[in-house]
Structure 1
Amino acid sequence: MRLARFHIGTEPARIGRVDGDTVVDVSAVPGVGSSLRALLPALVDLEPAIAAADGPRFDLHAVRLLPPIDDPQKYLGIGMNYREHAEEARAAGITIPENQFWFNKQVSCITGPFDPIIKPEISDQLDYEIELGVVIGRRCRHVAVEQARSVIAGYLVVNDVSVRDWLQKRSPTFTLGKSFDTHGPMGPWLTTDSEIDDPLDLGMRLSVNGDERQNWRTDDMIYDIYEQIAYLTQVMTLMPGDVIATGTPAGIGAPTGRFLQPGDVVRAEIDGLGAIENTVIAEPRP
């Protein structure tokens, strides 16, 4: 099942079931409401009613898709988790960690799957990173690797937009360089775990203005998504709606200096999950 948050004009956000090129409004199903994060703990029980719902139907092109999870308690990312990407990072002068390397993206960076990405005035090193996003479905702590898939609600496409000079030079942690406003586009919807045979073997591609920059598969992760969940839950309780960005493959802009500029169109796509597409714009002046 594919579940989207969307709205029409200035109307409040709705939850919809994506069927082909249409979205069916399922907000009226008892227990669904307008928050996908709030829905997740009851999703397994409500899934039959959502699947059978026959609410108002809209063309996908006639609605504005919103970030599926706009209000997670946590948005966590792992650094240098693809083998070839770790090597290109090393070539760019970045120290390679010996263990899982985690950082926060502040949740205020989250934006919609087709909303603009703002290039900040204070940097000329705006970079892209396609990533498989994992959304946690239930409260969990001390999860074994073998049980980790059971706590996943679903998946989405993430662009872990990064401001490189703030990431590596202006701050001792990754948080600031990863958290500029609009630098967390995600979507286009939540694809539930039951729809994906093997999340560890998905093709992922990113292009800038039609020029392919990244083309890899999720089976190249150093630490797979189940190992990531097990590692994190040794430290913290993961909550329904928490988003994990699971690492980017080779092909980022930093090693070649091909950074994003206003007018660039960035498209990120993952097999079975759909695509997001964002135009880079200059930072509006106050």
Structure 2
Amino acid sequence: MSSPSTPMPHSVTRRGPPPACSTSSLTVGRLSRTAGRRLSAPVGCVGQARRLERDIPSRHVRAWSARPRSRLTTQLKGEEMKLATFEHDGEILHGVIEGDRIAVAGPGDLRAVIEGAPLERTGQVISVDAVRILAPLTNPGKVVAVAANYQEHVIEGGDRPREKSTATPRLFLKPDTTVVGDDAEVEIASITTQLDWEAELAVVVGHLAKDVSETEALNFVFGYSTSNDISARNLVTGAARDGEAATDFFDWLAGKWLDGSAPFGPYVVTTDEILDPQKLAITLTVNGEPKQLGNTADMIHSVAEIISFTSRLMTLRPGDIILTGTPAGVGMATGTYLNPGDVVVAEIEGLGALTSRIVAPRNRG
């Protein structure tokens, strides 16, 4: 375990218009404590100073949403904002990732920061190798997910392409017990023999949102992260299936609810670093073998459209997570499923790599 190094300067608030953003290409890396893996390289976008406004009553949401956004303050000019939750010496903390170190910002996960608390460094800096990275939100609010949001994924599942003019986002919810962090073990539950992967862009809601327009929707985002909507493609219930459409649907839905089936992380990148969430490459490998290669540009419903539609159905709160769908390349298309010992790495451009380690069902007798 490494000792804390030289204290870092506290947060600095900058006022005035945000600086221009670099057009240099984004690079992707991965965060882990194991040798041979690294933190993601700089995304090339100059950090913009923005403060995080606190929640306001829902009756004021529409009026507020038309105002110019202000957002979380960056620490220093030009610095990326990669915010992580981690465990160190038995304590859960949150902080800012800087290369192979984490500048501690306070106790607990990122919820308080997302809800409006200031992000201020304590002066303590810890090596990444000395901590266990957790999900950015260890106890999130709602986890909303979107099905069939990439045409090629729809087609590989045997369905006809969706006609967007008559389509709306297909939403479903995942329990909070599905959320785990980077490098977590994901158990193949005894109720399934077909566990599958789905790399997805995760959106972290930063403000109370109800009935927001598509043009305003991205104002309500705190940041983005990498996720994997791990899915059971069959259920071993001991009961014969009747073949009815409703039974098939609810079996599919229940297959989204397994414990640990929403890995999320390794960190959250604030919105000032991701200028366009519709221009991000998505990849996934199993044991190093490429399985998925897509881009958020291929979404049927954009992030803004998903947020707007969702907010018409339910109130979105700070700390809610939205999983935005997966591109083609899932195991179901080829009848290939996860086995104990498999290592799954989902990676999104500028957001880092998320590792999941598949393990056999545990004996709870």
Fold shared, TM-score > 0.5 on shorter chain? yes
Match of 1:178 among 253, 256, 270: 256
The C-alpha deviation readout for 1:23-70, integer Å capped at 9, x for no partner, is 11111xxxxx41312321215xx25xx3xx362212212210000012
Which of the numbers 277, 291, 303 marks the counterpart of 1:225? 303
C-alpha change, 1:94 and 1:255, in structure 2 (3 Å) is farther
Contact 2:148 2:325 in 1 (8 A): yes
Q: Report SS of the residue matched to 1:216.
A: strand
Q: 2:67 aligns to what? A: none
> Residue 23 of structure 1 corresponds to which residue in structure 2?
102
Structure 1 residue 39 and structure 2 residue 113: aligned? yes
Task: Kindly indicate whether residue 150 of structure 2 is the aligned counterpart of residue 70 of structure 1.
Answer: no
**RMSD (Å), alpha carbons:** 2.1
- Residue aligned with 1:40, SS: helix
What is the CA distance between 1:176 and its match in structure 2? 1.7
The alpha-carbon deviation at position 107 of structure 1 amounts to 0.8
Question: Which amino acid letter does the alignment assign opposite residue 250 of structure 1?
Answer: A
Residue 82 of structure 2 aligns with which residue? Answer: 2
Q: Does 1:191 align with 2:269?
A: yes
- Partner of 1:146, secondary structure, is coil
Cα distance change of structure 1 residues 161 and 94 upon mapping to structure 2, 3 Å threshold:
farther
Structure having the higher helix fraction is 1
CA contact (8 A) 2:347 2:353 kept: yes
- More strand per residue: 1
- Listed one character per residue, the Cα deviations across residues 245-275 of structure 1 (whole Å, up to 9, x for unaligned) are 0000000000101100001000011111111
Alpha-carbon shift at residue 279 of structure 1 (Å): 1.0
Match of 1:90 in 2: 158
> Secondary structure at 2:139's aligned position in 1?
coil
Match of 1:152 in 2: 221
Q: 2:81 aligned with 1:81, yes or no?
A: no
CA distance in 1, matches of 2:248, 2:123: 50
Contact 2:234 2:252 in 1 (8 A): no
Larger Rg: 2
Residue 326 (structure 2) pairs with residue 252 (structure 1) = no
Which consecutive residues of structure 2, in runs of 5 or more, have no partner in the other structure?
1-80, 237-244
Q: Structure 1 residues 74, 172: closer, same or farther in 2, change over 3 A?
A: same
- TM-score norm. by structure 1 comes to 0.90
Corresponding residue of 2:203: 134
AA aligned to 2:114 is L
Q: 8 Å contact 1:104–1:174 — kept in the other structure? A: no
Alignment deviations for residues 209-228 of structure 1 (CA, whole Å, 9 cap, x no partner): 00000011100000000000
Q: Which runs of 5+ in 1 are unaligned?
A: 28-32
**Structure 2 residue aligned with 1:165:** 234
Report the Cα distance in structure 1 between the residues aligned to 2:253 and 2:158, rounded to whole angstroms: 20
Aligned to 2:272, the other structure's residue is in SS state helix
Q: 1:94 to 1:149 in 2, by over 3 A?
A: closer
**Sequence identity, in percent?**
36
Aligned partner (choices 274, 285, 294) of residue 207 of structure 1 = 285
User: Counterpart of 1:155 in 2: which secondary structure?
Assistant: strand
Paired with 1:100 and 1:166, the residues of 2 have a C-alpha distance of: 25
- Give 1:13's aligned residue: 92
Residue 152 of structure 2 aligns to which amino acid in structure 1? E
Q: Which has the higher contact order (CA 8 A, sep 6+)?
A: 1
Local SS of the residue matching 2:208:
coil
